[in-house]
Amino acid sequence: MPDARRNSYGRSVVFAAFLAIFVLYAYRAVFAILKEPMQAENGWTGAQTSLGFSIMMTVYAVVAFISGMLLDRFGARLTFAIAAVFGALGFAATGGGHSLPLYFFAFGALGGICCGMIGVSSTISVRKWHIGNRYAKMYGIAYAGAPLGQLVLTFIIKSYLASHSEAGAWRVCAFALGGMTLALMLLAAFFTKKGPEHYGMRPIGEAFASEPEAKSPVQEEIWSLGGAFSSYPLWAGMFCFLFSMLAEFLIWTQIVSYWIADLKITPSTAANMYLIIGFCGIFTMPLLGILADKVVAWLGNEPKGRKTMLFGAPLVGAAAVALLLAQAAFASLAIGVAACVLFAIYWAVVPGCTAGYVGAIYGRRTLGRIWGLVVLLVMGSGPFIGSFLGGYLKDATGNYRASLMIAGGSFILSALFALSMPKRVRRPKEKPEKTAGA
């Protein structure tokens, strides 16, 4: 009975994270579809419209750190409930507003609070319950909500906008997304649980004897933020994550516009190609999670296994960017489809394996605040620079080629930092205290 209850709680946490991540990508993914009609109706430039997304990601980053501290103390139920309220208000105010400052506040600030309360809480709540040779698979199942959200929401919004050409049709979509956010996040808050120690349970999965999570909660070392950030493994993981996020958001926020503006593909076809990333991601998320756990088991060391996956995934992203550039030369839809499949493979690995690597190095007891600060630094810079730079370079050069080239280089830098990741951490040496009279 205790094992059955523990497994039930573990599945409940994954389901709640799945719902939350579905909502998170409502904010991220639909921007690429709503961007053009929103920009055209309001008369904004590409840089101005992209700046709203950049503000959202910056607020997301700041709030992510706060949510990590709340998670360590109160669990994900509180953070998910906060996300429900602010997310619903953000979408509703975006749909009802007409001025640029209101758009920055509604989609940028309110949406950022919602996303910040979701991102860290969903990832770390899964990690607190599932460790070692089980984590990546359960993370992959939870994060299948991201591509599913992208697929379903893109299809619904694209279909609605195609059949309603009148001005303001995108506003109806925004109001509907607000209602969906409120309902799903309240449901996620109901299903999620605190960490297993709160119920007198152990996490699910097997950690290797040399890793912090193999110890009991009492024995597990507690890392301060200063101590963690004084060690290289955290910086290596953070820069791997950072350069992948910069590249990803250069692509994610501009790819549909690239196909339409540079390659003269119809909006409907471009949106359908964008759907391929979401469709493939539904399968690549859990399958690559299973593969990542098998690599960990084969190598007998979780940090080394996560490092191996983190080296390969950004290179897959760089290959996808190369295909997008080749698509312009060969005018082939098949090449664009192949790029989308590769993006889905990349997407399934980097965020989850980075969190898994950090968790395997520093343990779970203070992982919320440690990972929260990583997300603050990464998501407060990489996505902001990526999304704004994409809009700015389009305005400056008239095309998206420069954005793609920068994204490819950033993916390669991410892989190089992954290659430098150590498989263990060394505690910074304490300075000896001065004795009296010294």
Per-residue pLDDT at 410: 94
Q: Which two tokens stand for residue 225?
A: 């933020």
Specify the residue for token string 């296994």: 305
Q: Which two tokens stand for residue 223?
A: 């890392």
DSSP assignment of 224-283: PHHHHTTSHHHHHHHHHHHHHHHHHHHHHTTHHHIIIIIS---HHHHHHHHHHHHHHHHH
**Domains along the chain?**
2-191+207-419 (1.20.1250.20)
Per-residue pLDDT at 408: 94
Per-residue pLDDT at 157: 86
pTM attached to this predicted model: 0.80
DSSP strands (E only) in 334-435: none
Q: Which two tokens stand for residue 91?
A: 């979408």
Q: Which two tokens stand for residue 234?
A: 């955290």
Instruction: Tell which residue, 143, 63, 76, has the closest CA to residue 373.
Output: 63
List Cβ<8 Å contacts ≥24 apart for 92-99.
92/174, 92/175, 92/178, 94/174, 95/170, 95/171, 95/172, 95/173, 95/174, 95/175, 95/178, 96/171, 96/175, 98/42
C-alpha distances in Å from residue 19, one per residue of 69, 81, 149, 242, 304: 21, 13, 9, 25, 30
Per-residue pLDDT at 318: 96
Sign (positive or negative) of CA dihedral 191, 195, 200, 201: positive
- Give the bridge partners for 204, in sequence order: 130
H/E element, 285: helix 267-299
Write out the chain's pLDDT in tens, 438 residues. 567 889 999 999 999 999 999 999 877 778 877 888 888 888 888 778 888 887 888 898 889 899 988 998 888 999 999 999 999 999 999 888 788 899 999 999 999 999 999 988 999 999 989 988 889 999 999 999 988 887 888 788 888 888 887 778 889 988 999 999 999 999 999 999 998 888 888 888 876 655 665 555 555 677 888 888 999 999 999 999 999 999 988 887 788 888 988 888 888 888 788 888 888 989 999 999 999 999 988 988 889 999 999 999 999 999 999 999 998 888 788 999 999 999 999 988 998 899 899 988 888 878 888 988 998 898 878 877 887 787 788 778 888 888 899 999 999 999 999 999 998 876 555 444 343 343
Q: Which two tokens stand for residue 337?
A: 């489809």
Per-residue pLDDT at 347: 87
Q: Which one-letter amino acid corresponds to residue 415?
A: A
